[in-house]
Amino acid sequence: MDLHLKDKSVIVLASSKGLGKAISTEFAKEGAKVLISSRSEAELEKAKAEIKEVSGNPNVEYQVCDVTNKTQIEQLVQKAVELHGTVDVLINNAGGPPAGTFDDFSDEDWQQAFELNLLSFTRTIREVLPSMKEQKSGKILNIASSSIKQTLDNLILSNTFRAGIVGLSKSLSQELAPDNILINTVGPGRIATDRVASLDQKRADQAGISAEEVREKAEQNIPIGRYGEPEEFAKAVVFLASGANTYLTGQSLVIDGGLVKAL
Ligand SMILES: NC(=O)c1ccc[n+]([C@@H]2O[C@H](COP(=O)([O-])OP(=O)(O)OC[C@H]3O[C@@H](n4cnc5c(N)ncnc54)[C@H](OP(=O)(O)O)[C@@H]3O)[C@@H](O)[C@H]2O)c1
pLDDT, residue 208, reads: 97
Q: Give which of 35, 45, 137 is closest to 80, Cα–Cα.
A: 35
**Residue among 193, 222, 227, 260 whose CB has most ligand 1 atoms within 8 A, to mutate:** 193
- CA-nearest residue for atom 7, ligand 1, is 145
CATH number for 9-191+229-255 (one of 1.10.260.40, 3.40.50.10320, 3.40.50.720, 3.40.190.10): it is 3.40.50.720
**Range(s) for CATH 3.40.50.720 in the chain?**
9-191+229-255
| Ligand 1 neighbour 235 (Cβ under 6 A) | no
Please name the residue whose Cα sits nearest to atom 8 of ligand 1.
145
Phi, psi of 62 (to 5 degrees): -130, 160
Nearest to 89 by CA among 28, 155, 160: 28
Q: Is residue 200 lining ligand 1, measured as CB closer than 6 Å? A: no
Residue 45 CA: distances (Å) to CA of 7, 76, 118, 165, 247: 22, 16, 27, 30, 36
Q: HSE of 158 in the Cβ direction (CA atoms, 13 Å)?
A: 24
Atom of ligand 1 nearest to the CA of 116: 31
Pick the atom of ligand 1 nearest to 44's CA. 40
Neighbour order of strands in the sheet with 33-38: 60-64, 33-38, 9-12, 89-92, 138-143, 181-188, 252-255
In degrees to the nearest 10, what's the CA dihedral of 106, 98, 38, 242? -110
Ligand 1 near 40 CB (within 6 A)? yes
Q: What is the model's pLDDT at position 198?
A: 94
pLDDT, residue 183, reads 99
Which residues does the chain have with pLDDT short of 70?
none
What residues pair up with 220 in beta bridges, in sequence order? none
The alpha carbon of 139 and the centre of ligand 1 are apart by a number of angstroms equal to 21
Q: How far is the CA of 145 from the centre of ligand 1 (A)?
A: 11
Query: Which pLDDT belongs to residue 247?
Result: 98
Neighbours of 191 (CB within 10 A): 22
> Which amino acid is located at 208 in the chain?
G
Gap between the Cα atoms of 227 and 105, Å rounded: 29
